[in-house]
Structures are given as C-alpha cells and as structure tokens.
Amino acid sequence: MSDEAKIAAGVYFDDFAESNWRDQKAGWPVVKSEFAIDRDEPNVLFASYVRGNYDGDALVLFEEGGKLFRVDGSHCSCCGLEGQWEPEETTAEALMHQLDNGLSYGVIGARKAKIRLATKAYLEAKDGLSIVKGGE
C-alpha cells in the first residue's frame, strides 16, 4: 500500500501525514526524516507525531516478522526525534492494557481510539482474535 493510501486509510496521522519542512513526502519519508533513520518501511499500523509550540511526541506501531513493535519518541524545544528510533517488541495485550488503564497524554491521549483500531486490525489479521474493549 502506498503512503498516500495509508494516509487515506488512517495509518499516518498529524505531522507524519503532512510533508515536513525538509520537503519530505508525507508518510514513511517523514518518519525516516524526523527519526533520522535509513531503513525500508516496515508494515506500519499506526504512526503519529504531535508537536506543540516547544515539544513533540511520536508513536509508531509496526509489524515485522510476525511480531508487533512500537517506537516512542519525544522532545523539548532544543532537539527533535533524531536518535530515538529504538523499536521495542510489544504485544497487542500490553498495548490494550496501556490504552485501558495507563496514562493518557501525548499521542496516546490524542489518538487512543485510532491506536485501538490499529491494534484490533493487527489482531484480526494475525489470528482472528479481538481483545478490544471499550466503545471509543
């Protein structure tokens, strides 16, 4: 699926869904640029970068090799997301627990319903299970 199709389908959100100041095309090129990484695009399920006046918060969820990974990044006004691309293996259950019971700030707070939908789609594609609860 092209980056344009992923944006239309609701995979890339906020500043990852727009071209950036480096004239990078929206979608994966912006993720690569903001995190300063050089890698092929994994199967991105959800990616959002929310910036305030002097800070930013990002979350990227992706599937690779049959496993679910997340990358979290944040910054103050003095730097960006560079050097923070550190994929952490996670589970859909752990992610849903955070959505249901954890703190809701930054991208998690702003895009909770979209993250829930991406996680549900991942589970359904993986093995037909759905642990999603809540009516968001």
22 confidence band (pLDDT: 50, 70, 90): low
Over pLDDT 70: what percentage of the chain?
Answer: 82
Contact (Cβ atoms closer than 8 angstroms) between residue 81 and residue 60: no
Q: Is the pLDDT of residue 8 over 80?
A: no
Contact (Cβ atoms closer than 8 angstroms) between residue 96 and residue 62: no
CA-wise closest residue to 61 among 102, 99, 104: 99
Pairing of strands 43-51, 12-14: parallel
Give the strands of the sheet with 67-75, arranged side by side: 12-14, 43-51, 56-64, 67-75, 88-90
Full-model pTM:
0.82
Position 56, amino acid: G
Q: Which tokens hold the place of 87? A: 């994929």
Q: Rounded distance, CA 34 to CA 87, Å?
A: 15
How does pLDDT run across 31-80, given as a tens digit for each residue? 998 899 999 999 999 999 988 888 889 999 999 998 999 999 999 888 88
126 confidence band (pLDDT: 50, 70, 90): confident
pLDDT higher for 89 or 9? 89
